[in-house]
Amino acid sequence: MEKTASASTTTLRPGTGLARLLQENPALRIGQDDYNINVTANFGEELTDQHVADALRNHPGAGRPAHLYFHVPLCAYICHFCNYVKRKVPDGPEGDRAPRVWTDLLLDESDRQLAHSPWLSAARIESVYLGGGTASLLGTEQLARLVRHIRTRYTLSEDCEISLEGNPDNFQHDELAEACAIGFNRFSVGVQSLQSEVNAFAGRGHDAAMSLTAVEKLRATGRPFNVDMMFGLPQQSVATVADGIRRLVGLDVPTITIYRLRNADRAKMGIGNRALWNVESVKARLNDEHRFPALGETYEMREAIVETLLDGGYHPSPCGWWNRPGVYPDGNIPRVSRNKWQRHDSMIAIGPGAYGWLTGDGDEIVQTHNIADISSYARRLREGPGLPLASGRRLVGHEAIGMVLGFAFKANQPIDAARFRRRFGVELFRDEPFASVFDELIERGLVEPVPGTTESVAPTLDGEALHEEIISVYFHQRVGGFAEAVCRR
């Protein structure tokens, strides 16, 4: 296929499924430089750090399920596409000290959170996730300190899912066996591509052989794990992307997560760092050299990936997370995704740039945002009392419903009208703006009624293919931005 200089030009082959979807749904056609879709809300009343601190202190979360997230901002290398909060580990003695330094800071914030919000130690933690950055760079000794702290200071469910995130170069020796021994029971590894030249161009520190070694070591643990794969990267083609997925399917990888390249500038939004490919001069040069696949070819990549996964017996749960049958119970969805997205339980987020939310039975949601600048975050903890909060958002009524609907759609589980009736006092399929939104999604074949029910719908495979665009356009913009009061509670 001929590539264009613009990554936002759509030139899909006639007759392909995603070509039809984009032709029928032009509002969902979003170029890579604008593609920063997030299930969290960028709307609602903005809150100061003090208002967020008050909300955290007074939240009635004791005894309720919750998810716990630790953000480790360390990386052995900085990927050219990465716009999350992170810092390269320096060379020499400072780098040697970095794992302990950052473990100390995370434990300090966690202790402050627990002291500030007494309910937190009594919340029922059903899933824990250590991400980043590259959480596995902390090493076994510091990871063990974190796990001991979590088990000692928080109330974990008996079957609590504790996940560790890393890159293939972190899982080449005995790291995974040691992680299992200290309590991790689920893993995530960022392979991104099985083309060594693609990862090299993106600045990653591993090749295909290292990725395959890591996958074999992950399989040997007997624990569930996911392999992250990206599409839309420079030097990828439809054939090479599909071949990489086919190799993972052949290795019986339990969960394959697929992500489209996002090249929006999260730093401008205050929720990340600027990636190298966000820099306008770099972006212009790469476009002039036709390095990025055109948008049409990017969607063809996803279509080829999905065909390969379906042929291998995989099914997405949540959207974008394709699981082999029987990997997880109750809908075959990881506990982290069930807590965060399907049920939208409170999420306690610790670390620089980490964001979470407080939720319950009422119609109010509070998003929490930590200080994103790494140096400022560390300085706040070292020099004074209090929490390293930056800001937050309060969502009520249609804003809260739009956010929860977006999470529910992302989970790719049935969306039940009774749940929204109980919590928000609205009828999803009769009240506006929800009824017209779901009528349109059903008409366009993006959701369908759940067989055997009269009050539940779920995403179709077409809806899953464009789930992030649907969340942004239909739930965040049309529902979350609805101008009239709709909540009747």
**DSSP for 10-60, written as a single string:** --PPTT-HHHHHHHH-GGG---GGG----SS-S-SEEE-HHHHHHHHHH--
The CA-atom distances, in angstroms, between 210 and each of 136, 169, 172, 309, 371 are 16, 6, 7, 23, 34
The domain boundary, picked from 322, 338, 354, lies at 338
Contact 194, 241 (CB under 8 A): no
Residue 10: the pLDDT is 32
- In CATH, what number is assigned to the domain containing residue 308? 3.20.20.70
* pLDDT (0 to 100) of residue 27: 80
- Residue 380 forms part of a structural domain: no
Structure confidence by residue, pLDDT tens digits, 296-316: 888 899 999 999 999 999 999
Look at the block and give the residue holding tokens 């030097």. 235
The number of distinct structural domains making up the chain is 2
What confidence score (pLDDT) does residue 452 get?
92
With respect to residue 132, please indicate whether it lies within any of the assigned structural domains.
Answer: yes
| Contact yes or no for 43/399 (Cβ under 8 A) | yes
60 plus 36 within the same structural domain: no
**Tokens standing for 129?**
């996730």
357 inside domain: no
Nearest Cα neighbor of 400 from 408, 410, 412, 391 is 408
Secondary structure of 159-176 in HEC code, one letter for each residue: EEEEEEEECHHHCCCCHH
Residue 355 inside a domain? The answer is no
> Are 181 and 137 in a shared domain?
yes
86 and 124, same domain (yes or no): yes
- Per-residue confidence (pLDDT) for residue 264, from 0 to 100: 64
Residues 139 and 37 reside in one and the same domain: no
User: Considering only CA atoms, which of 84, 133, 83 is closest in space to residue 106?
Assistant: 133
Q: Residues with Cβ < 8 Å from 27, sequence gap 6 or more?
A: 473
- Both ends of the chain: CA-CA distance in Å? 54
Asked if residue 379 is part of any domain, the answer here is no
Residues in the chain: 489
For residue range 175-202, what is the model confidence (pLDDT) as tens digits?
999 999 999 999 999 999 999 999 999 9
Does a structural domain hold residue 349?
no
What distances in angstroms separate CA 176 from CA 145, 192, 217, one per listed residue?
A: 16, 19, 7
> Does 408 lie in the same domain as 317?
no
Whether residue 365 lies inside any domain: the answer is no
- Asked if 142 and 258 sit in the same domain, the reply is yes
Nearest Cα to 76, choosing from 213, 204, 199?
Answer: 204
Which among 433, 474, 411, 438 has a CA at the least distance from the CA of 25?
Answer: 474
Distance, C-alpha 102 to centroid of its chain: 22
Adjacent-strand bridge partners of 325: none
Pair 109, 387: CB distance under 8 Å: yes
Q: How far apart are CA 341 and CA 162, in angstroms?
A: 17
Three-state secondary structure call for residue 88: strand
Residues 56 and 36 in one domain: no
Is the same domain home to 79 and 139?
yes
Question: Quick one: 147 and 124 in the same domain?
Answer: yes
Which of 290, 311, 338 is where one domain is finished? 338
Among 338, 359, 376, give the residue marking a domain's end: 338
Longest distance between any two alpha carbons in the chain, whole Å:
63
pLDDT digits (tens, 9 = 90+) for 346-405: 999 999 999 999 999 888 999 999 999 999 999 999 999 999 999 999 999 999 999 999
pTM comes to: 0.92
Q: What is the pLDDT of residue 223?
A: 98
Averaged over successive runs of 10 residues, the pLDDT of the chain (489 residues) comes to: 30 54 80 62 91 98 98 95 90 95 98 98 98 96 98 98 97 97 98 96 95 98 98 95 98 96 67 80 91 88 95 96 96 97 97 95 93 96 96 94 95 97 96 96 95 94 92 92 51
Whole-Å CA distances, 218 to 30, 155, 176: 35, 28, 7
| Residue 461 belongs to some domain of the structure | yes
Cα distances (angstroms) measured from residue 333 to each of 27, 213, 275, 336, 403: 29, 26, 31, 8, 20
Q: Which domain holds residue 434?
A: 15-43+397-489
User: Do both 477 and 429 map to the same domain?
Assistant: yes
Does residue 61 contact residue 123 with C-beta atoms inside 8 Å? yes
Judge if 95 and 225 occupy the same domain. Answer: yes
Q: Which residues pair with 428 in a beta bridge?
A: none
Within this chain, do residues 311 and 334 fall inside the same structural domain, yes or no?
yes
CB 248 within 8 A of CB 229: yes
